[in-house]
Structure 1
Amino acid sequence: MATTTEPTDGGPGVLDDAREALRVERRRAGDEREAFRAFRSRVASVSAEPVRTDGGAGPATGGGGPLGVAAPGSAASPASGPPAGSGLVAVRDAYQETVMSVPHYEREYDDTYERSVAEEFSPELAYALTRGSRFHEECKRSLLDATETAIEERERFVETVRSEIESVERAASRLAPIRSEVASTEDEAFAESGFGTLDAYRARIEVLVDDCDRIAARRQRELASHERGLALDDDVDLPTYLYQDLAPTYPVLATVGAVGDRLSEVKRRIERAMAGNA
């Protein structure tokens, strides 16, 4: 994604870039949600296998490590990976053909299978899936539960992005007439205006400043609401994650601030003209 220009004048370009970034994120999150749903269906169809600890051909005797990882010294050593034709191979193939095949996977993640399942599920489950000897019932249940959690996380994220799109659209809509009025007021020759006209201009500018303050305050409340609904890394807030490829990390607040700076400059010009008329 291309990096946008700094919002030096509060123009619409930054918010346009923000909306495009959100559309991309919504599409990617939706693709991942559907990929995990497909993966869940394929895992559900994989038959669970007995846990083998004796290396023989007879029935399983039970035991083994967590989630069915073979005990050290057994015929199927954890270091050897899943045996060919096992349920674990079917799970791996299903994961690679669904989750790891979303269009943006290489660009955004580019992880190996083992690292990906560790990140998405847990290191313990990843170890069972990549170093285990059998895809047994406990491992299958754990994997289906973890996959359901991944689906729910994507659903929450899609909803948050949808809400964020509405927030940006609302701010852009409210800022557009303010920006237009600022542009027309900036062109006024205040030195030629009478004191009463200048005072009216100043009062109107103050109203527009208050409008910008309200837009910014609402935006802050909406961001706080989004944060409560998501579990992102402690070091990354939602705007930083969503707008990491944009020049301003907080595009709405940056745009409001730029419009506010223009209003302040117009107000200073008006007050200088008023002082000259005194």
Structure 2
Amino acid sequence: METSRQADDPVARTLREHAMEPLSTAEDLVEAERAEVEAERRAFVRFGDRVGGIDAVSRGATGTTPTRTLAGSRPRRVERVRGAFRETVMSVDHYEEVYGESLVEHAAAELSADVATGFRREGGTQFTEFYKSALVSAVEEAVEWRERLLEQLDEELAALDRSGETLGDLIDRWDGPGPAGGLASDLDDLAERRQDLIQRRDPLSGTDGHELCQYVYADAEWTYPVLTAVARVRTAAV
């Protein structure tokens, strides 16, 4: 059988390993990123639940609150917010390695600078109903952003799997240097489909595949694993 012959051919086997390396590395990177994003999503959900259990500063029937009451209630509430944030969002295993920011800095980066003022021990925003609503909304946005990113990462994993299967089939057809069996044309088709996917913008996040690749594959020696794999086959087999 042709596939068996190719499997026993050391040249074809070496080509397969060389070509598939970017794809297998990419899958590992995407899966690792997905695990981190999912951990953060769950952490923000837990933080939101904790925030929901904190009573806002109560106001009298006249709609006013004595300054002494506000001043006395704020330290207790801010420590509950800080403690909840530290024990959920900042407790993910990769926090120090990936972020390493102070509590207020991370709150500002993830929830906005205005919301982060409520995390300050001194001179921060009171935990009023208005502030609590703004905080809850910011947390929900952080969760939704990660849910959209998880969908994109799942799509990338599926695309890598499809590309790997196609490329493997093409390598199995290879019978030595030269454009045998339309290999060059099929490689072009695979690269074109990948480019179409990369250039497609996500309607919810407004990002495209270029930004996703730059984000996920920042630590790799390449930015586009499928195109790198195609180029390796083309160089060796065409």
Same fold judged by TM-score > 0.5? yes
**2:35 matched to which residue of 1?**
27
**1:218 matched to which residue of 2?**
193
> What runs of 5+ residues in structure 1 fail to find an aligned partner?
1-6, 61-74, 77-81, 187-200, 265-278
Number of residue pairs the alignment of both structures matches: 217
Q: Quick one: which amino acid aligns to residue 176 of structure 2? A: T
Out of 248, 253, 273, which is 2:222 matched to?
248
TM-align CA RMSD: 2.7
Deviations 1:236-266 (A, max 9, x none): 71101111111111111111112122233xx
**1:42 matched to which residue of 2?**
50
How many Å apart are 1:11 and its aligned residue?
A: 2.1
Does residue 239 (structure 1) correspond to residue 230 (structure 2)? The answer is no
Work out the percentage of aligned pairs sharing the same amino acid: 31
Q: Secondary structure at the match of 2:126?
A: coil
Distance 1:133 1:218, change over 3 A: closer
**2:20 matched to which residue of 1?**
12
Distance 1:98 1:112, change over 3 A: same
Higher fraction of helix:
2
How many Å apart are 1:179 and its aligned residue?
A: 2.1
* Whole-Å separation in 2 of the counterparts to 1:203 and 1:12: 20
Deviations 1:27-76 (A, max 9, x none): 1111111001000100000000148886435xx6xxxxxxxxxxxxxx79
**2:137 matched to which residue of 1?**
145
Deviations 1:203-232 (A, max 9, x none): 52xx11111111111111212235555356
Out of 113, 120, 124, which is 2:110 matched to?
120
How many Å apart are 1:9 and its aligned residue?
A: 8.0
Q: Report which of the two structures shows the higher radius of gyration computed on alpha carbons.
A: 1
**2:9 matched to which residue of 1?**
none
Q: Which runs of 4+ in 1 moved over 4 A?
A: 7-10, 50-54, 226-229
Q: Quick one: which amino acid aligns to residue 29 of structure 1? A: V
Contact 2:19/2:230 (<8 A) preserved: no
Deviations 1:87-134 (A, max 9, x none): 121111101100000111111101111111110111111123314252
Q: TM-score scaled by structure 2?
A: 0.82
Q: Secondary structure at the match of 1:134?
A: coil
> What runs of 5+ residues in structure 2 fail to find an aligned partner?
1-14
Q: Quick one: which amino acid aligns to residue 97 of structure 2? A: R
Does residue 56 (structure 1) correspond to residue 48 (structure 2)? The answer is no
* Whole-Å separation in 2 of the counterparts to 1:247 and 1:179: 23
* Whole-Å separation in 2 of the counterparts to 1:83 and 1:244: 42
Q: TM-score scaled by structure 1?
A: 0.71
* Whole-Å separation in 2 of the counterparts to 1:227 and 1:263: 35
